[in-house]
Chains A and B, each alone.
Chain A
Amino acid sequence: MDKNNRVLGRMGARELTEQEVDAVQGALRVHHTLTPCFIDKQKQLLNGDQAIGECGP
């Protein structure tokens, strides 16, 4: 990764290992999580508090 041209938000991002991603999913009894920030590694999506179903600008 070229760190010289990355955005500030990427520099401050929290790194989660694969084990931690697993832990997020495994911490809850259901096969999906309802928490405000969540990565579904099989489906590759972020299920967060914000949605952008607003249909663009």
Chain B
Amino acid sequence: MTAGASPFGQSIARVGGVERVTGAQRFTADLKLDGVLHVKLVHLPVGHARIIAVDTSDALEVAGVQHVLSAADLPQPVPRFGPASRDRPVIASGEVKYFGEPVAAVAAESEDAAAEAAALVRVEYEELPGVYSIEEALAEGAPLVQHPDLRGDTPLAHTNLLGEWHFGWGDVDATRADVVIEGTYSFPMVSHFAIEPFATMAAVQDGVVTVWSPIQHPFVLQRVIADVVGLPVSSVRIIAPDAGGAFGGKGYPKYEPLMAFLALRTGRPVRLVLSLEESFQASRRAACTVRARTGFDREGGLCFQDLEADFLIGAYADIGARVVSKASYTASGPYRTPNVRIVARGVLSHTVPSTAFRGFGVPQLAWAVESQLAEAARRLGLDPLELRARNLARKGEDFIPGDTPADGDWEQALRRAAQAVAWDTPAPAGRGRGLAMGLKSSATVSVSNAIVRLHHDGSVSVLVGTSDMGQGARTVLSQVAADELGIPVDGVRVVMGDTSVVPFDTSTSASRSSVFSGNAIGLACRDLRGQLCSIAAELYGEPEEEIRVDGGRVHVHGEGLAYGALLKDYFGPSRGELIGVGRCRARYLPEHPLGGAPSFWELVAVACEVEVDETTGEILIHKLVTVSDVGKAINPQHVEMQDEGAAVMGLGHTLMEHLILDEGGRISNLGALDYRIPTSRDLPLEMATFMVENQDGPGPYGAKGAGESGILAVAPAVAAAVQAATGVRIRDLPLTPERVWRALMEKGLSEQPIV
């Protein structure tokens, strides 16, 4: 396809890297609009309350305040939105349903004026009993988080169950197993804590509503804004500056609809930058409790997996139903399990709306399932490596009956991880090792479009609806285009982040962009190459079949013409361009539980070696290794960077991260001081990431997606290693020093005093 060195598969420099190291990169909060009004939100120190009255009179007296908006100012009934169901009001309406839900929004000439006025908005409210945990939400007589009238046509309308899903095959109850492992596992609420707090702006001009947001899915936001404001999609423009980290937390609309209304009300551009604390109150991962029963035969073969998973969703569904169903569908992991029963529930609660978060429900389930396997290995006296290898689905195997077969040599990843921690040698004294695997379904039904414009000078613009939130989509996709057209990567400019310019893309999620956008770009480039052949045939009278496009040139009559030269001949002095279009779509399958089959599987194997200070409970990770099955790395350095980052993020929920609620549903550890995430001093002593590249994915050159696998199985690997080192088994995350200490105490291993 291309002569000379193609950038495909090379670790080329990040596009946009220079801007980021010089401070020139403009994130949403860095943008300035003329005449902008600064917005501050008003929220109450409660988890659940009835709003009795909102008095804005004092706030309006503050110099510079232009508007104070509350539910009363909006069309009645207050418009509602959501990516899956229209359940969320633009602003709290009648009730505050989670700690941080805005009750009013002040727009003023300066941030100081807005903050001053926000403090003067008087809200009369009555605190109400709320449900803040799965137990509370499901208890008899529990207050309903959402009014039944708003739940649509579901038998669950009078409950706090958002949904209940049943998956599986075979017959678990009829299956006999020699050994059954039972356990209940908990995974906490965790915050995305992107270093960029959430920010958004909106403006209205000439009947077009423009919204700026570091949103991962600009076209979802476009649709939601159009719907909630009552405009055609063509009258809504989303500009999405690259996000300063997102991890799923910036995927779905939050306060953008509110800002659109503010812009319409005031007739001025409006700007909202959340504090870090408010960002904590805007999105989080769903907490999860899993009751697992796993049956094995004496040789360690899996007989059945019987899983009940309850996910604590927040006050509004957001994408919660999808998180629960998609993750639960594959809960049994990358294994051959003849009998599986999965019952998964999404439970509404008066808490911050949970949303997508890297791994999309899989880390929560892998925590349980992989811990079960670790326990089984101990009980059966088997090597955890061999136990997994015995049960791993082989490439091509139909491990989820009727669905996408296993698409990788997963045992290769498993053994690579084990080898990297010298698994077959005894661990040094006082240390223990653990292994775990994680499997995630990639994107199912979705579509990516690409428009590739070949300019008259031979340079190329690639228009795609994907977003770059740090994962390097811009770079990777420019490599794909450069490779397809045989031109240097410098000749390609990727355009993203403006729905008025770029074509529709479902989302930047599910690790799908390299495959979907990559394929779409490939198709668009092939379209261009076809057009080049066609115009060359027309110009030079050579049959089209005899014309080749190769190495960045069009070969006609034994001569290789540069694209620019050909276009010049074709269009003449008034110039022109060629436009190639490509679309990559995964089919919508209404009968499929996920709406479509997984395009590929994201798989990781994790191995680690730890040491535990049995006096304090502190864990020291000597080695942490992840191996991801990626098909083909378009930019190897980018994949490694993502995997490392995902692994460290996994260490966060493994060792230290959890949102703590008080009895009133307020987040107690709100902010960076008491919500701890890993720093450079919290790293394993040795960390490594590896890739398995067998070119067996559906993307360009056999690529699969990447970016999420690294986080999927860190927790169970570490917990298994802790058990190996100390004998204690812990089923709740995070493994804080105090939790580990307590487990050691209960096991009688830690006696006072010990030095």
Q: Do A and B bind each other?
A: no
